[in-house]
Structure 1
Amino acid sequence: MGETRTHRPVLLVMAAFSRYPEALDWGRARAEAEFGPLVLESPRMPFEQTKFYERSMGSGLEKTLWAFKSLMDPLELPTIKLATNDWEQAYQREHEWPESRPLNLDPGYITEAKLVLATTKDRDHRLYLGNGIFGEVTLYYHAGNWCARPWTYPDYQQPAYHEFFDQCRKYLREQYHRGDDATASPRPPRRSLNAKD
């Protein structure tokens, strides 16, 4: 019989994309207010691998990746995804952009072995995490490299993303080495948000 163990804290990461630089700034400020400061941030990169989002978000999208200084309990991921969904809606209400979804926020986490993303969409390769949220292993780490699965989004197969996740994994391992794997995770985000928050 296998021995059960408590999962070590993991590194909270988030992808944000929009055609509006100020939307990305707003998303970063909102996320840092809830989860604390970033420890890593990628450059803003053209998001051109798919046209799927053009109808709701427009063209000329840019994407950036964030990693947060404080580690988190992986069980918090569904709550975080629900919160970022609320933030997207709050931003849309507060601003008069023509797009129905001017900001997209995708949270996930990194362990030493994988990148997990949260989603509201069920597929055969996704596991239910609770509260209408599913988890997907988008990348796995093997022999010193990030590796894709058949379902991995095209942008997450790009070298620039893998370089960022290399930095994330290195930071996570440094925290484990320092004994910070027992540190408190980010406080759970509030679910009820409005323009006055």
Structure 2
Amino acid sequence: MLTADERLWEIAKKSLCEKWGEIEMMSDRTDFDKFTDYYRSEMGENLVRFWVALADLYPPEDLIRLKWDCTEIENNLAQNGNRKINLDPGYISEAKVILASFKDFSHRIYLGNCVYADMQLMWRGKKFVPMEWTFADYKSIVAQDFLKKLRNSYREKLKAYSKS
């Protein structure tokens, strides 16, 4: 989640939770402007980044629908044609972190309905390792700590699911 106005997150969260269920965990907030100015012309300055995770597990193929739902939320909160919040949906597995994108690129795999899978991190040893194209904020300690906790939670859910 990326925005300069965290009140928009509360509105977006309500819409997201109505469609996809509760939020399980949130990361600490980090100053996004220190990583890039990519969104500055559209979203302004003083952008705050944090990551959130849904409580329920979904199959990877649901990423297409989640990307479109997040885009609808972004569009509903846009002002004068500019996004004021950026929701970058993705999923985590034991092996990787995948984001959804509408933009094709050499390392992105087409999923369908204009959505591409973008592997940002892979698990190697006891940590997530970035790719040469990994976004700078995903390399940060805040992201790494959150994603490691999320991976542990995911693994616990898989264990519980396999026992039932």
- Give TM class, smaller chain: over 0.9
Give 1:69's match in structure 2, choosing from 28, 31, 55. Answer: 55
1:166 to partner: Cα distance: 0.7
* Percent identity of equivalent pairs: 28
TM-score by length of 1: 0.79
What root-mean-square deviation, in Å, do the aligned CA atoms of Structure 1 and Structure 2 show? 1.5
Q: Which residue in 2 is equivalent to 1:186?
A: none
78-87 or 51-60, which deviates more: 78-87
TM-score by length of 2: 0.94
Structure 1 stretches of 4+ with a deviation exceeding 4 A read none
Return the alpha-carbon distance in structure 1 between the equivalents of residues 155 and 63 of structure 2: 20
1:44 to partner: Cα distance: 2.2
Give 2:131's match in structure 1, choosing from 149, 152, 177. Answer: 149
Match runs of 1:1-197 below 5 Å: 16-48=1-33, 49-92=35-78, 97=79, 100-179=82-161
Counterpart amino acid of 2:155?
R
Q: Residues 17 and 62 of structure 1 are in contact (CA less than 8 Å); yes or no, is this contact kept in structure 2? A: yes
Counterpart amino acid of 1:61?
L
1:43 to partner: Cα distance: 2.1
Q: Mind listing any 5+ residue stretches in structure 2 that lack a counterpart?
A: none
Q: Which has the higher contact order (CA 8 A, sep 6+)?
A: 1
Return the alpha-carbon distance in structure 1 between the equivalents of residues 80 and 102 of structure 2: 24
Return the alpha-carbon distance in structure 2 between the equivalents of residues 106 and 36 of structure 1: 17
1:27 to partner: Cα distance: 1.6
Counterpart amino acid of 1:45?
T
Return the alpha-carbon distance in structure 2 between the equivalents of residues 106 and 148 of structure 1: 17
TM-superposition CA deviations, 1:62-85 (whole Å, max 9, x none): 011111111001111111101111
Return the alpha-carbon distance in structure 1 between the equivalents of residues 13 and 30 of structure 2: 16
Q: Mind listing any 5+ residue stretches in structure 1 that lack a counterpart?
A: 1-15, 183-197
Q: 1:71 to 1:100 in 2, by over 3 A?
A: same
TM-superposition CA deviations, 1:96-134 (whole Å, max 9, x none): x56711111100000000000000000000000000010
Instruction: Select the structure that is richer in helix.
Output: 2
Q: Which residue in 2 is equivalent to 1:191?
A: none
